[in-house]
Amino acid sequence: MSALPPEALRTELAALVGAGQVFTDPADTERYEQGARYGDGKAALVVRPGSAAEVAAVVHYCAVHGVPLIPQGANTGLVAASTPDSSGTQVVMSLERLRGEIEVDRANRTATVGAGVTLQDLNERLAQDGLCFPIDLGANPTIGGMIATNTGGSRLIRYGDVRHNLLGLEAVLADPPGQVLDLMSGLRKNNTGYDLKQLFVGTGGTGAVVTRAVLQVHPLPRQTATALIVPTGQDAILDLLIALEGEFGDFLTAYEGISQAAMQSVLDHVPGTANPFAPEPVPGYALLVELSSTASRELLGVDLQQALNDFLERQFETLVTNAVLDGGADLWKIRHSISESIRQQGKLIAFDIAVPRSSMVAFRTDALAMLQRDFPWLRLFDFGHWGDGGCHFNIVWPHEATPAFDADTVEKLRVAIYDLVVRGYGGSFSAEHGVGPYNERFYHRYTGPAVQAYAGRIQKAMDPHGALGRVWFGPAPAP
């Protein structure tokens, strides 16, 4: 907790970054204090350094004075890792000013970016060179936030996550406070000791603040094919995935499941959407397949959509009972509107989970049975990334339901689902969103004591005084 009087803190940080970049007025600080899904903290103030040197100065100052510091990107995170607690003593350090020019090295197929550059800005710049950074998300985070979260998204099956596309970074360390670590390699092969940048990926702003990065980028696809498929049954889903990977492994960019409830919710609540299977009813389960290729139709000799259509025709009746071909934008609109639509049905209880792909059917079957038995008034609107085992197992407590919403029951539900995921199927209680204060209790519940002890040992080595970030990965309680 800060021992400094608020006015002194403000004055001294203003001396480091300029008076115009330190905010204390609630009208200015509010958007940095409330998380996108959880958390409604109160910051001592918000500081916006404009360079790595200013970040270093702020980190050093706060560490020396014992002021807790929370790094923040675009504040699109879903686990409250980048927003302050309610004490009013934590300083939020927004990194949104760390932009500068995006440097594209065409021959190296890399982009060098400031941590404050947004995904959208990066992709607009890359498109000028026929390139993209293909981590596909609903939100528009900063690159620094994507690194701190190790975001995955809908196209992980093809491109991997942020970790797989991160060639280098620059970080300001919690300890020695404000030390800049230059790991700005643009190399794909470099085995010269610890790959230290891995310590700053997916660790939610603990240990260090990422200020710049070198990213591997990819050619923009020149052909895309989509289909929305009704499998013959749950058991066909994995067989179809295996068949698609065998036939189209080079091209398969997404394999997304959409439950009947999720699709119906979109059709009921999102203007401009229609049942793609009409006049047939909305199917019990549907799979959105996307293929894409950098090769042109001329080069391949085949239209990718036609190849997908032909493939599906061969699977008809064995694995597939119906399919809507092409219509990519409309199909993706349904997929991307699910989260928005289900919020209108009641209180959203979101689960960002993963299991091995081979366990997805069994997990879903078990979880549905458990919900019907123990929480029959809740409604499931699940959808997920079958290609990578991720699943947004989202549940709604309807406004009109009996019993009325209560937090204790929600916690029991969370534990019941996560127990099944982690203990029943060796899965993850946070596939894409990270730990953060919101998931910290589940981290301690599901992470083995040896792993927690080792993580704590590493975190202690990186940040002995807990200067940065909000999560302690060692054994609870914090030392």
Map the footprint of a copy of itself across residues 356-415, applying CB under 8 A: 356-359, 385, 388-390
Q: Which of 37, 42, 99, 218 binds a copy of itself (CB under 8 A)?
A: 218
CB half-sphere exposure, 441, CA atoms < 13 A: 5
User: Binding residues for a copy of itself, how many (CB under 8 A)?
Assistant: 99
Question: In the complex with a copy of itself, which residue's Cβ is closer, 346 or 424?
Answer: 424
Interaction with a copy of itself in 222-241: which residues (CB under 8 A)? 238, 241
Rounded least distance, CB 300 to a copy of itself, Å: 6
Binding window for a copy of itself (CB under 8 A); candidates: 43-51, 56-64, 264-272, 296-304: 296-304
Non-local CB neighbours of 369 within 8 Å, separated by 6+ positions: none
Please report whether residue 478 would count as binding a copy of itself according to CB under 8 A.
Answer: no
Is residue 467 a contact point for a copy of itself (CB under 8 A)?
no
Nearer to a copy of itself, 95 or 471 (CB): 471
Is residue 53 involved in binding a copy of itself (CB under 8 A)? no
Buried b (16+ CB within 10 A) or exposed e, 371-402: beeebeebbbbbbbbbbbbbbbbbbbbeeeee
Among 246, 272, 376, 479, binds a copy of itself (CB under 8 A): 246
Q: How far is the CB of 176 from a copy of itself (least distance, A)?
A: 8
- 11-50 residues in contact with a copy of itself (CB under 8 A) are none
Residue among 430, 437, 467, 469 that touches a copy of itself (CB under 8 A): 430
Count of residues for the chain?
479
Which helix H or strand E contains 292, and what residues bound it? strand 285-293
Work out which of 57, 115, 227, 435 binds a copy of itself, going by CB under 8 A: 435
Q: CA 296, 298, 303, 307 torsion: positive or negative?
A: negative
Going along 95-246, which residue ranges are E strands? 103-105, 110-114, 131-132, 166-173, 180-183, 208-216, 218-219, 223-231
Question: Pick from 332, 348, 351: which is nearest to 340 by CA?
Answer: 348
The tokens describing 152, both together, are 């995955």
Question: Please, which residue, 105 or 268, has the CB nearer to a copy of itself?
Answer: 105
Residues of span 93-132 touching a copy of itself by CB under 8 A: 105-110, 130
Task: Decide if residue 255 touches a copy of itself (CB under 8 A).
Answer: no
Interface positions, 142-181, toward a copy of itself (CB under 8 A): 149-150, 152, 156-157, 160-161, 163-164, 173, 179-181
Residue with tokens 């594209």: 104
CB-nearer residue toward a copy of itself: 30 or 245: 245
Contact 241, 234 (CB under 8 A): no
Give the residue from 135, 156, 157 showing the smallest Cα distance to 145: 135
- Applying CB under 8 A, among 32, 61, 251, 383 the residue interacting with a copy of itself is 251
Give the residue, chosen from 182, 268, 340, 406, that forms a contact with a copy of itself under the rule CB under 8 A: 182
Sequence-ordered list of residues with C-beta below 8 angstroms from that of 147, at least 6 positions apart, any chain: 115, 162, 166, 169, 200, 201, 210, 213
Separation between Cα atoms, residue 189 and residue 195, nearest integer Å = 11
- Our finding on whether 189 is near a copy of itself (CB under 8 A) is yes
Q: Could you tell me the smallest distance in angstroms from the CB atom of residue 287 to a copy of itself?
A: 14
CA 271, distance to chain mean position in Å, is: 26
> Minimum CB separation from a copy of itself for residue 214, in Å?
9
Applying CB under 8 A, which part among 37-45, 254-262, 332-340, 443-451 lies near a copy of itself?
443-451
CB 429 within 8 A of CB 418: yes
Q: Distance between CA atoms of 120 and 344, rounded to whole angstroms?
A: 27
